[in-house]
Structure 1
Amino acid sequence: MTRTAVPTRPRRRILADVTPLRSSPDFRRLWVGATISRLGQAMTALAISLQVYAITGSSFSVGLVGLFALVPLVSLGLYGGAIADTADRRTLGLYSSLGLAVLSIALAAAALLDYHRVWLLYGVVALQAACGALNGPARAAMIPRLLPAGQLPAANALNSAAMTFGMMIGPALGGLIVGWWGYQAAYLIDAVTFCASLYAMWRLPSMRPERQAGGPDDGAGDDAGEGAGEGATAGGKPRRASVIDGLRFLGTRPNIRMNFFSDLSAMVLAQPKALFPAIAVLWYGGDAKTVGLLVTAPAVGALLGGLLSGWQGRIHRQGLAILLSVAGWGLAIAAFGLTRNLWLGLFFLALAGCADSVSMVFRSTMMQAATPDDMRGRLQGVFIVVVAGGPRLGDFLAGTAADLFSPAVAITGGGLACVLVLGLLAARWRAFARYDARSPQP
């Protein structure tokens, strides 16, 4: 008696899909290099903050570190994206990574020579941010050229997990290294970690932007004030990648625009981080350790979201997924504002971090898949501005609301406002919820 073979359903993946690491050696090298270098960068960021405080004894001076990083990151983000749409992205990524490594070496040399000057640290932080504003758009625009569209959600989930891992482990490791061997050790280790990133960039093929006929860059060159360098068109004529053209493109693409609006609604309206020191004392009777737990909880949730991201590759209605995950962030933050139990509060913050990681994966995937290659750099520049500027504006708004009303009103009200604004945006641009990754439309 013969048995009839029973067809089996494909196994449902739960853990992170590592197919991009197996299928593309170039992506694998980029991912490993970025993971290692992010650890080093997080160590350096902490070491700089500790060194500034040791020199000045002022928390205000430490706070200025963030300002010196934010200004060049925001101001150069759009311009760096325009360069990435003109130049060879491999070359741009290689030289900007080399610049970051050289800056870490300079910090180590100054520390070894006992040259402790706060202005030097501020200057290096600003230059690091400038290099990052060039490196980020170039690196992100490379991913769709290395992988098929179906693997982009998995690739972005892997990148999210690696970034979160660096944010969690890097500062703790940096604190230990500074305590054992001094600032120069953390800076030197950071410089060495860039070798992996440099090697990955060096092994890549040339990656000049692929220009589409009829795109916004066709025709005569733009005004000098709008351009960001020259490249070659399909016909061999020089062209400029205009920042203004990138913004015009964004203005006529409702799905990509809604992508940014949804993120801003979360980061500006429901950003409780600035209130953690106050609520650690007022709500939980804690201290600096409690603040550390509150800061770490969203990162833990984001890391778990990345590690358990295998299901994301099966989602085609990515616009709807973004709306649901951003709404999940807002509701989790609102619930956090209502609880006075520390462990329950940490749970809601972790839930918010997990929702944010899901949103980030689909937002990045949509932007990569629905954007022409010769526009990806500029939109990644806009993405950097939104990611860097949105939370800072959210910190200001939360602090103001907490002073005018109370931390509970600021946090819970902010979370609910996020959901309300998101609903209004979704009602205004209803096609966003119907966005289908199998037929991406910007």
Structure 2
Amino acid sequence: MFGIVLLAVAAGQAQAKVDAVQAARLGADLTPLGAERAGNAAGTIPEWTGGVTPPAHYQPGMHHPDPYAGDQPLFRITAEDVERNRNLLAVGLVDLLERNPDYYVRVFPTRRSASAPQRIYDATRENAEKAELIENGNGISGAVAGIPFPIPQNGMEVIWNHILHYKGDQTRFINNQAVVINGRANLIKRDRYIYYIYNREGMTPEAMDNTLLYYRYHVTAPAKLSGTSLVVQDPLDQVLTTRRAWRYSPNDRRVRRLPSLAYDSIQPDTSGLATADVVDSYNGAPDRYDWTLVGKREMLVPYNSYAVHQQGIPYDQIVLPKTVNPELLRYELHRVWEVEAKLRTGFSHPYHTRRFYVDEDSWQIVAVDLYDAKDELVGLQESHPINYYDVPMFQATLETLYHLKTGNYFVDGLDNNEPMYDFDYPMSPQDFTPQALRRAGN
């Protein structure tokens, strides 16, 4: 149906900043964030023309209406005809289709909706000639606000682009996560706050002080967990300074420092289905993996997932016993960077090998194939993104992690029956300390 393109790229970690000639391509034949501006030869991927235009009736505070609601699916992929599209799908998605005969993938016309504020474009242009990997790739220097490596030379640069792509300055949001075991879903509602440092307007490398972001949540349902809270202080270089996290338990009214909330440590309240580093598809230090940039290819990936984002959809119509409801999902053909991460000797993790598929337009990871130490496929992560066009920013409205062998899965981001995200909620770093956590619990 669609052609596939795979470009071999050297995997070395030595290169970093590019010269002025290469950097001048940003905003010319490349988009301001480094994607190919032109469409593909087949005409199935269009030219990038600046991102999405919000619907005329949209007002901030609304669940973002679907600007492409009039699009009709081009075709559907099921287990019966998955073979003809195998080379365009994540391996884990093929496995999910084959294990679930009732599941399907709806493929829509490609809409290159990703965009960011002009100041992020300007910062990306500056970063291109200044940013470098340091400490064996565990940190960066010479970059702030924008994408650090818009013309990447290796896999570690691509993963840093994902970690640091623009997600707003500060956000308060209420949503739910679902743990689905043996077909039964258990939901947890959380009131969440994120205060970003790297991307803030006016930020400088010196002022960051090795701080990436602050994060806090309070559980509000179910009743047995209500009042449980967490604070995270996330450094940029997590080998130089480890991530710090504290958890408040209403049962004993105490704040305790967590020994670890990184790498393969299990996220609280996920019944063992989600490690700490799967949040936002991948987060944290890259030091335990060797990263290889395989190249760029065309793939059918989750994109413009406005249908599953809409207000008022009951959660049990989204979270089905075996999968998320496929009728609410949208897939499109996009160019993605493919990056392979292999666990280094001496470290342990359920995911010995990961294959990341990173959207070229936004640097958001949209899918991940997960393999165990025996090189057997065990999981599939997907990010279902939208452009929050009032910011603007492009990131997941829903994240899924399928454990393919057990049939259990994890969902995060269910917000259809909650207030829409507040991107201007007043907060400061002082709200993300163990003392603040203790005060909130009293």
TM-score in same-fold range (> 0.5): no
Kindly indicate which of the two structures has a greater share of residues assigned to helix. Answer: 1
TM-score range (shorter-chain normalised) is under 0.3
Kindly indicate which of the two structures has a greater share of residues assigned to strand. Answer: 2
Which of the pair has more CA radius of gyration?
A: 1
Q: TM-score, length-normalised on structure 2?
A: 0.27
Of the two structures, which has the highest relative contact order with CA contacts closer than 8 Å and spacing of 6 or more? 1
